[in-house]
Amino acid sequence: MLHLTIRQLEIFDAVARHLNHSRAAKELYLSQPAISMQIKQLERSVGLALFDQVGKVIHLTEAGQEMLRYSRNIAQQLEEMDAMFGEMKGLERGRLNISAVSTASYFMPQLLAKFIQQHPKIKVSLHVANRDAAIKLLADNSADLAIMGQPPEGTDMLSKSFMQNPLVVIAAPDHPLTKLRDIKPKQLAQETFLLREQGSGTRGVVERYFAGHKLKLPTHMEMDTNEAIKQSVQAGIGLGIISLHGIELELEMKRLRVLSVDNFPIMRHWHIVHRKDKRLSNAAHAFNQFLLDEAERLTSPATRNHTRAT
């Protein structure tokens, strides 16, 4: 029989996430010796080393990886128990951890502001990351819900669309293609593109678009943020393919132009995603329903009009 405490599991989880005792201590407002002592006690209880240290770098052992999986499952069950008892008391409270891909950060603050106004007792945190990182936060149970354009494949996650996500081709205002209408895929393939990294949802759409027209992926430069893509397109380095939601300000300021391209905009959807095995709290259910009810209505009229006009 293992003899361990919930606090030891919390400390272990912090060290496993940071792989650094000092950062874990800072997060938990403990001293580094206290962190080290609790980890040693946990290892004695298990009878196996949970971490390896090579120089100043620590790594999870095989036993540590298993402990991390169990500790997060236990933490999830405790959160669900707490939420259930809160619901039984008739309280609208709790925490809601949301992860969102970077492009969603252009509209999420507006949605969150209204949700928090309606549910002031719910503590909400938003973590913006790329698609792979957002999925990992769900898998690690560090996020209750994730907002992304392309939901993960497989059966471990459930997703539901809540708002249209039009992807458009953008160029600098003085680019020669801004003078043309109904630009063909072959014309686009001759241009240089600014693309997101491998694994991003938008990158996958671009690759499928050119492959679907039996064209090679054009000459391109990879960038890890949409802001970098927008700045580079404005500077005349190349073209970009990006969510219309992410360029409202640039269109209004006439810093970017949306090109008239055959088969564009590519109409995708934003999805809200969660683990299939996770019991959603009242807070998560409330936010889920809020998105379904409010998202389209709160979308900028300029964005809707531009989508229809393109």
CATH of the domain at 218: 3.40.190.10
Given pLDDT bands bounded at 50, 70 and 90, which one contains residue 274?
very high
Q: Are residues 118 and 186 in the same domain?
A: no
Whether the per-residue pLDDT at 270 is higher than 50: the answer is: yes
Where does residue 143 rank: exposed (0-12), middle (13-18), buried (19+ CB within 10 A)?
Answer: buried
Q: Are residues 178 and 237 in the same domain?
A: yes
Q: Are residues 176 and 155 in the same domain?
A: no
Q: Are residues 151 and 275 in the same domain?
A: yes
Q: How far from 20 is each of 24, 73, 168, 183, CA to CA, in Å?
A: 6, 22, 43, 53
Query: Which of 132-136, 175-179, 301-305 is the least confident region?
Result: 301-305
Whether the per-residue pLDDT at 166 is higher than 60: the answer is: yes
Q: Are residues 152 and 279 in the same domain?
A: yes
Q: When comparing pLDDT for 297 and 164, which is higher?
A: 164
Q: What is the CATH number of the domain that holds 49?
A: 1.10.10.10
Where does residue 102 rank: exposed (0-12), middle (13-18), buried (19+ CB within 10 A)?
Answer: buried
Q: What is the pLDDT of residue 234?
A: 93
Q: Are residues 259 and 116 in the same domain?
A: no
Cα distance between residue 194 and residue 61, in whole Å? 40
Residues of the chain with pLDDT > 70, as a percent, come to: 92
Please report how the helices 62-88 and 32-46 are oriented relative to each other, as an axis angle in degrees rounded to 10: 100
Q: Which residues pair with 272 in a beta bridge?
A: 147, 160
Whether the per-residue pLDDT at 67 is higher than 90: the answer is: yes
Q: Is 180 inside any structural domain?
A: yes
Q: What is the pLDDT of residue 310?
A: 47
Whether the per-residue pLDDT at 36 is higher than 80: the answer is: yes
Cα distance between residue 134 and residue 148, in whole Å? 8
Cα distance between residue 142 and residue 98, in whole Å? 9
Q: What is the pLDDT of residue 94?
A: 73
How many C-beta atoms lie closer than 10 Å to residue 303's C-beta?
A: 20
- Over residues 58-68, the mean pLDDT reads 93
Q: Are residues 170 and 24 in the same domain?
A: no
DSSP 3-state of 113: helix
Residue 215 is which amino acid?
L
Q: What is the pLDDT of residue 302?
A: 47
pLDDT tens for residues 37-54? 999 999 999 999 999 988
Range of the domain at 66: 6-72
Average pLDDT, the chain: 86
> Of 47, 49, 41, 53, which is closest to residue 9 (Cα–Cα)?
41
Q: How far from 158 is each of 60, 145, 153, 200, CA to CA, in Å?
A: 30, 10, 10, 19
Whether the per-residue pLDDT at 218 is higher than 80: the answer is: yes
What secondary structure does DSSP assign to 69-94, as a single string?
A: HHHHHHHHHHHHHHHHHHHHTT---E
Output the pTM of the full model: 0.62
Whether the per-residue pLDDT at 220 is higher than 70: the answer is: yes
